[in-house]
Each structure stands twice: as C-alpha cells, then as structure tokens.
Amino acid sequence: MSFSLDDFAKALEQHNYEFSKGQLVRGTPFSYESDGILVDIGGKSAAFLPNEEVSMRWIDDITQALPLGEPREFLIIREQNAEGQVALSLRQLEVKQRWEELAEMQDTPKTLRVRVSGVNKGGVTVDLDGLRGFIPRSHLVDRDNLEALVGKALTVTLLEVNQSAKKLVLSQRLASQAASLSQIEVGQLISGKVSSIRPFGVFVDFDGASGLLHINQISKNYVSSLDKLFEVGQPVKAVVVDLDEVKRRVSLSTKVLETYPGEMLDNRDAVMAEADSRMQKLAEQNAAAASKPEPEAEATPEPDATPDAD
C-alpha cells in the first residue's frame, strides 16, 4: 500500500497541534526576518519571535544573541492565528527566571547592582536587569537630593520580592551597612553623628552603618535624661563593644572612655575631645596586660606517703 504526498498532506492537516499561551516549547531558529525570527517548533506553521522579545537586555546583533540552527526553549506569548502561527518570547522567559532567582536570594545577604531610572515622592525607581524596582527614601544613603541619583549605579540588597504583584523593593542603606560591618571590629573607635534618640539609647550613624549607644553604655553612673546629653546631628565618638553581622547590629559604648564614673555626665565634651588619645591609652594598657606573664602557682607540698612506723 503506497503513501503519496497528498496522503501525507491530508494527514498533516488532520494532526492536532495544541499550542497555548504560557506553554514552554522547544524550537530551532531557522530564518532572520526584518522584524523578528522564524522558529521551527514542530507545528503546522513556523512560530515567530519578535525582535523585542529576544532578550531582557538591549541586543546590538541578534545573530550573535540567537544563532540559527541552535535549539532552545521558548515561551508562547500569543495563541495561534488564522495561519496557525504562534508568537514566542525569550525575554518573558528570562523575566520569569529572574524573578525566581531573586525570590531565592531574598533571605540572603547578597548584593546587586542597579541603575536609578527615576524619582517619585517616596524614593527612586531603578532598573535591575530589565526589571523595575523601587528603593524607598528611608533606604537610601543619600536622601536629600534624589534627582542627583538618576542615572547612577547603586549597590542594593533585597527587601521584598513579589512576582505576582510585580513588586521589587530594595535597600541601598542595608547593603552599605553590610559592607561597612565587614570593616568594623570590636574595640574600634568610631566617629559618627546622632541619628535618633530613643528612651533606651542613642542611634549613631557612621561610615554607612548605624550603631546603638545603649543608655547603660553611656556612663558608669546612672543617666537620667538622654535629651540633656545628646541631640540629633551631634558628633559622637564611641567604642564598638559588640558586633552581630548577621542581624546587622553594632553596640557602642562611651563609658569605657571615662576616667572616672560619671565623667560623660559632668564633662562630655572633654571625653569626646580626648577620645582618640584615651582609646590609644586603653589599647596600650590591654596590650601590656595581655603580654604580662601570669604568676606561677605555688607548688602545694604533697602529703607524705611514707607509712608511720609502728
């Protein structure tokens, strides 16, 4: 029984090619057109990949980005038309994959580079590999002149990733803090400015990071009023006494700089003015104490094991 070309054509017409929007298909590009690329996905008609759907990023040479004859996966973004042709996208597939990568990164300390694209009332909008993100004003390092940030590249960490809502919230401040914390050591003297005053202590901003000068660490004597000692914007020098890089917490102390209990309350300006020399003296004292040999323990005479004579 012979099988003619007409029979083959009829069989082809009867074959049900089910392609739907959102489906992943494997195809092979075979022809460059003026406005896109024809792709063989095994259907009745060649699929079409528009130029603007080739990548999330700007492509100068499509022939380099998508060589002919190399099979790969595509995302169907438009159902079959009257001729049975579907429209494909690599860009939207990359977008989907990028959202998934960002979701996995959300709870990690990894940083990303973004470029500021615009300004609005609450902060700045940024471009992250073709995705639109947002940095709230409170999470910017420079919050005073947002217009000057447009076009600049910033290092950020992820705050919120919500693909379904297309919500991508980022923080430059936390990324800067993480970088600064890696350079900080316990026992280091820092110089900063008071950023806020709370009932339990004072927050100090320094070198892109923020530390807490707890009320119990201000002086060896009882502190009755923080408002009498500090004001927002005031320069402060303090010593790092504890550091938690995971939780991004820095604990500071000024009482270790006092030469007598209560000096921060009686003569705060002198403590601040002499902070560097006092810290150096403390370091020398600690080094001397560490190098001083420990006294040898006196030998305890062993009890006489000789039995008494009868």
Question: Residue 161 pairs with which residues in a beta bridge?
Answer: 168
pLDDT number for residue 17: 57
pLDDT number for residue 233: 93
In this predicted structure, the answer to whether residue 180 has a pLDDT above a threshold of 80 is: no
Res. 298 pLDDT band, cuts 50 70 90: low
Res. 1 pLDDT band, cuts 50 70 90: very low
Length of the chain: 310
pLDDT number for residue 62: 84
In this predicted structure, the answer to whether residue 246 has a pLDDT above a threshold of 90 is: no
- Separation CA 49–CA 53 (nearest Å): 7
- Separation CA 170–CA 180 (nearest Å): 18
| Cα–Cα separations (whole angstroms), residue 235 to 172, 177, 203, 228, 230 | 23, 19, 12, 15, 9
For residues 248-272, give the mean pLDDT: 93
Same fold, 23-94 and 107-177: yes
pLDDT number for residue 45: 84
Domain 183-291 carries which CATH code?
A: 2.40.50.140
pLDDT number for residue 4: 56
* Long-range Cβ pairs for the range 37-44 (8 Å, 24+): 37/62, 37/66, 39/74, 39/88, 41/74, 41/86, 41/88, 42/17, 43/17, 43/19, 43/84, 43/86, 44/12, 44/15, 44/17, 44/84
pLDDT number for residue 5: 52
Q: Which range among 60-64, 65-69, 189-193 shows the weakest confidence by mean pLDDT?
A: 60-64
pTM: 0.59
Average pLDDT, the chain: 85
**Which of 238, 136, 245, 128 has its CA nearest to residue 190?**
238
For residues 75-100, give the mean pLDDT: 88
For residues 123-148, give the mean pLDDT: 91
Q: Where are the domains of the chain?
A: 23-94, 107-177, 183-291
Please give the distance of CA 3 from its chain centroid, rounded to a whole number: 64
Q: Work out the percent of the chain whose per-residue pLDDT is above 70.
A: 88
Q: Which range among 170-179, 192-201, 225-234 shows the weakest confidence by mean pLDDT?
A: 170-179
Domain 107-177 carries which CATH code?
A: 2.40.50.140
Res. 69 pLDDT band, cuts 50 70 90: very high
Please check whether the domain covering 23-94 is classified as CATH 3.40.640.10: no
Res. 260 pLDDT band, cuts 50 70 90: very high
Question: Do residues 93 and 74 lie in contact, with contact meaning Cβ atoms separated by under 8 Å?
Answer: yes
Res. 8 pLDDT band, cuts 50 70 90: very low
Question: Do residues 259 and 267 lie in contact, with contact meaning Cβ atoms separated by under 8 Å?
Answer: no
pLDDT number for residue 303: 55
pLDDT number for residue 310: 43
pLDDT number for residue 154: 94
In this predicted structure, the answer to whether residue 109 has a pLDDT above a threshold of 80 is: no
For residues 221-225, give the mean pLDDT: 93
**Amino acid at residue number 181:** L
